[in-house]
């Protein structure tokens, strides 16, 4: 699919979407934005803005001019087939990958690996991966506080206090001195999410955090994600959990062909998808019993 | 030492032979007879419980017995005993060789510490990412290629005899110093590759996790990657330790009076090879426990890794 199509899909959503307005280099009332139903009163600098992002690995073009805007408080669910670029997108935002073309803005500043201070950016984001997040040689407390102590240079006592606070919130207080191998997969992911949240990031990136878990462990992690979403955490979530997307997402983005092929509120995407590809993707999910 | 003969070996094996009532190869024949009534299985005969101990004892007896028999029967046994296991010469040369061995141990300990540090530095240099670290990566590759490519003995001769002749004022000029340095350089090149394999065995997502917490490349290495990498390669490092413990003897070519050199001097004086056996025994006293330690750790490590998640 062309990138134009994707952009169209995004603009057509009913959200007050200030995607183009917020580009700091362009005029906020540029003429090309007339089609967008953005409300000037609701204008707010986006948390993250991806502008025509291209990324390929070898011959495989994963992202092909993808645009995306995340406002503060948004819970954006990225859905799409495996290998469609959801993870790559999150890794690009966290500066773990270098873009081929395009730009990413984080709270108004263009970020790119090596151009800005990567670590300063990462300290303000939290990311949790599919699996193997925790350091096996460190216990839960050490896992939780490593970033605080080393990157944020927070004192041991303060870090301990914060860790205890978060573990209590996640019902993991009794696991504070356990090593990851002694925890269930669900507990491990909850600790990983706690570790990502402990530095009070502006944005939480979750990359299919439940897909490596046994089915009975998915619930506890999703419940935690819902709680964080309800608490106003800005989240960008790559997920196969359509139930979560339906219930919690403020916007669902279907990634196809390296762009956001269609995006909208969950009820729009799941209820009345406009494009054939989205319909086909959802039909496949229904066949697999995942929707 | 002098008594490697069958009479000492036989009595310990004897009782089990009597207990089982069927010595040597009898086990095989008995298994085939149907008198133990274990043949109902459709897979054919199952092995009775005494099969494993009896067969292992019998086969050991056969091998040890045969070897001992030939040594015992040999016409030159007296001569071998005289030349290699001479009790008198053994104790005569013992103090000097042990004195030399103390130097071996000192060299071994100093060299091992230096090797572990230098190799770690080289391995970390080689694993750094980013264009700014290109020169360091190249340097470490050159270091490894060079010092792993030389025969160790050549390196020892080259540095041990060569460098002191330069009379450089700001480095030590001792033969001992350069002999040990040659050991350190050669072993560091190998050990760096061991470390590197450990670093590469740590999954990429661990690096991503550490970096995503805002840790710099160096911090991620220090706090997340290296602790796991080193743990992964401890068996290989222990193996290198055993190997180094013996190879320190190579500096004897420089005339350093460590145990092998001392033994050599004694041998030259008396034309009896027992002093070499003294040195051999001393080396075994260290290397066998080290080998067992390595086995034990490797086994424990494997068990720890195969533990299933809760």
pLDDT digits (tens, 9 = 90+) for B247-288: 999 999 998 898 999 999 989 888 889 899 999 999 999 989
Question: For chain B, how big is the Rg over CA atoms in Å?
Answer: 27
DSSP-assigned beta bridge partners for residue A253: A78, A263
Under an 8 A CB cutoff, do B228 and A136 touch? yes
Q: How far apart are CA B273 and CA B8, in angstroms?
A: 25
For residue B217, the distance in angstroms to the closest alpha carbon of chain A comes to 10
Under an 8 A CB cutoff, do B227 and A184 touch? no
Under an 8 A CB cutoff, do A119 and B215 touch? yes
In 3-state terms, what secondary structure has residue A138?
coil
Q: Does A182 touch chain B (CB under 8 A)?
A: yes
Of B205, B214, B216, the CB nearest to A129: B205
Q: Does B151 touch chain A (CB under 8 A)?
A: no
Q: How far apart are CA B3 and CA B23, in angstroms?
A: 26
Q: How far apart are CA A217 and CA B79, in angstroms?
A: 75
DSSP-assigned beta bridge partners for residue A48: A70, A106
User: Is this complex scored with an ipTM above 0.95?
Assistant: no
Q: How far apart are CA B309 and CA A134, in angstroms?
A: 14
- C-alpha closest to that of B121 among B140, B138, B100: B140
**In chain B, beta strands by DSSP E:** none
Q: Does A153 touch chain B (CB under 8 A)?
A: no
- DSSP-derived letter for residue A198 is T
Under an 8 A CB cutoff, do A129 and B211 touch? no
Q: Does B131 touch chain A (CB under 8 A)?
A: no
Pairing status of strand A251-256 against strand A259-264: antiparallel
Q: How far apart are CA B98 and CA B242, in angstroms?
A: 19
Residues 224-253, chain B, touching A (beta carbon < 8 A): 224, 227-228, 231
Under an 8 A CB cutoff, do A199 and B213 touch? yes
User: B5 near B68, Cβ under 8 Å?
Assistant: yes
Q: How many CB pairs under 8 A join A and B?
A: 72
The stretches in chain B having pLDDT less than 50 are 1-34, 36-37, 39, 308-310
Per-residue pLDDT at B270:
86
Q: How far apart are CA A234 and CA A219, in angstroms?
A: 21
Under an 8 A CB cutoff, do A184 and B216 touch? no
Question: For chain A, how big is the Rg over CA atoms in Å?
Answer: 19
Q: How far apart are CA B50 and CA B58, in angstroms?
A: 12
Q: How far apart are CA A283 and CA B207, in angstroms?
A: 37
From residue B187, how far is each of A207, B171, B235, B237 by CA, in Å? 43, 21, 16, 11
User: B180 near B251, Cβ under 8 Å?
Assistant: yes
Q: How far apart are CA B23 and CA B57, in angstroms?
A: 9
- Which residues have CB under 8 Å from A31's CB, separation 6+? none
The stretches in chain A having pLDDT less than 50 are 1-37
Q: What pTM does this model have? A: 0.72
User: A66 near A255, Cβ under 8 Å?
Assistant: yes
Chain B: residue nearest A195 by CA? Answer: B213
Q: Does A57 touch chain B (CB under 8 A)?
A: no
- DSSP-derived letter for residue A96 is S
Under an 8 A CB cutoff, do B228 and A96 touch? no
**Residue A256 φ then ψ, to 5°:** -155, 135
Under an 8 A CB cutoff, do B206 and A135 touch? yes
Q: How far apart are CA A168 and CA A176, in angstroms?
A: 10
Per-residue pLDDT at B70:
84
End-to-end CA distance of chain A, in Å?
A: 24
For residue A200, the distance in angstroms to the closest alpha carbon of chain B comes to 12
Full strand arrangement of the beta sheet holding A251-256: A125-128, A203-207, A235-238, A75-79, A251-256, A259-264
- C-alpha closest to that of A52 among A118, A111, A100: A100
> Is the C-alpha dihedral spanning B93, B95, B98, B103 positive or negative?
negative
Q: How far apart are CA B82 and CA B272, in angstroms?
A: 8
Per-residue pLDDT at B89:
85
Q: How far apart are CA A49 and CA A7, in angstroms?
A: 13
**To which H or E segment does residue B18 belong?**
helix B6-20
Q: How far apart are CA A76 and CA A265, in angstroms?
A: 10
User: A244 near A225, Cβ under 8 Å?
Assistant: yes
Per-residue pLDDT at B42:
65
pLDDT tens track for A177-234: 888 888 888 899 999 999 999 988 999 999 988 888 888 888 888 988 988 888 889 9
Per-residue pLDDT at B72:
79
User: B152 near B146, Cβ under 8 Å?
Assistant: no
From residue B196, how far is each of A23, B147, B148, B241, B243 by CA, in Å? 44, 16, 15, 17, 19
Q: Which residues of chain B does A114 touch, with a Cβ-Cβ cutoff of 8 Å?
A: 130
Burial label, B71 (beta-carbon count in 10 A; 0-12, 13-18, 19+): middle
Per-residue pLDDT at A214:
84
């Amino acid at each position: 699919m062309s990138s134009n199509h994707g952009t169209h899909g995004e603009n057509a959503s009913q959200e007050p979407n200030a995607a183009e307005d917020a580009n700091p280099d362009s005029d906020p009332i540029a003429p090309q934005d007339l089609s967008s139903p953005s409300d000037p009163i609701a204008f707010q600098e986006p948390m993250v803005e991806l502008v025509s992002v291209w990324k390929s690995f070898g011959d495989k073009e994963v992202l092909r001019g993808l645009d995306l805007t995340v406002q503060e408080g948004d819970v954006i669910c990225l859905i799409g087939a495996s290998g469609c670029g959801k993870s790559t997108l999150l890794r690009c935002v966290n500066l773990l990958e270098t873009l081929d073309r395009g730009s990413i803005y984080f709270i108004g500043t263009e970020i790119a690996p090596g151009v800005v201070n990567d670590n300063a950016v990462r300290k303000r984001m939290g990311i949790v991966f599919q699996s193997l997040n925790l350091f096996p040689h460190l216990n839960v407390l050490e896992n939780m506080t490593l970033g605080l102590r080393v990157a944020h240079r927070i004192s041991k006592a303060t870090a301990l206090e914060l860790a205890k606070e978060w573990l209590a919130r996640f019902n993991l207080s009794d696991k504070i001195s356990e090593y990851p191998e002694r925890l269930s997969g669900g507990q491990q992911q909850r600790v990983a999410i706690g570790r990502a949240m402990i530095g009070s990031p502006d944005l939480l990136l979750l990359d299919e955090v439940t897909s490596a878990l046994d089915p009975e462990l998915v619930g506890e992690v999703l419940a935690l994600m819902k709680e964080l979403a309800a608490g106003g955490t800005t989240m960008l979530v790559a997920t196969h959990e359509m139930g979560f997307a339906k219930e919690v997402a403020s916007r669902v983005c279907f990634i196809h062909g390296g762009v956001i092929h269609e995006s909208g509120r969950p009820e729009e995407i799941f209820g009345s998808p406009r494009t054939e590809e989205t319909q086909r993707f959802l039909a496949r999910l229904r066949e697999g019993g995942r929707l | 030492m002098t008594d490697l003969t069958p009479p000492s070996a036989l009595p310990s094996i004897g009782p089990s032979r009597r207990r089982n009532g069927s010595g040597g190869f009898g086990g095989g024949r008995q298994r085939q007879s149907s008198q133990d009534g274990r043949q109902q299985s459709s897979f054919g005969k199952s092995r009775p419980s005494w099969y494993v101990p009896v067969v292992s004892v019998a086969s050991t007896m056969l091998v040890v017995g045969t070897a001992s028999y030939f040594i015992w029967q040999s016409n030159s046994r007296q001569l071998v005993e005289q030349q290699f296991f001479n009790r008198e010469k053994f104790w005569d040369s013992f103090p000097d060789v042990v004195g030399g061995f103390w130097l071996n141990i000192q060299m071994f300990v100093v060299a091992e510490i230096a090797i572990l540090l230098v190799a770690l530095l080289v391995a970390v240099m080689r694993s750094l990412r980013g264009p700014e670290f290109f020169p360091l990566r190249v340097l470490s590759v050159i270091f490894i290629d060079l010092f792993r490519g030389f025969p160790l003995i050549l390196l020892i001769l080259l540095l041990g005899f060569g460098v002191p002749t330069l009379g450089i004022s700001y480095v030590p000029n001792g033969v001992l110093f350069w002999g040990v340095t040659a050991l350190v350089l050669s072993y560091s090149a190998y050990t760096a590759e061991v470390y590197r394999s450990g670093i590469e065995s740590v999954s990429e997502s661990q690096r991503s996790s550490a970096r995503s917490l805002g840790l710099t490349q160096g911090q991620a290495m220090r706090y997340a990657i290296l602790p796991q990498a080193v743990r992964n390669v401890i068996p290989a490092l222990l193996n290198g330790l055993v190997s180094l413990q013996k190879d320190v003897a190579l500096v004897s070519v420089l005339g350093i009076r460590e145990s092998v050199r001392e033994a050599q001097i004694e041998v030259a004086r008396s034309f009896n090879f027992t002093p070499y056996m003294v040195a051999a025994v001393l080396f075994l006293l260290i290397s066998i426990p080290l080998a067992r330690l390595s086995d034990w750790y490797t086994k424990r490590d494997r068990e720890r890794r195969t533990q299933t998640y809760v």
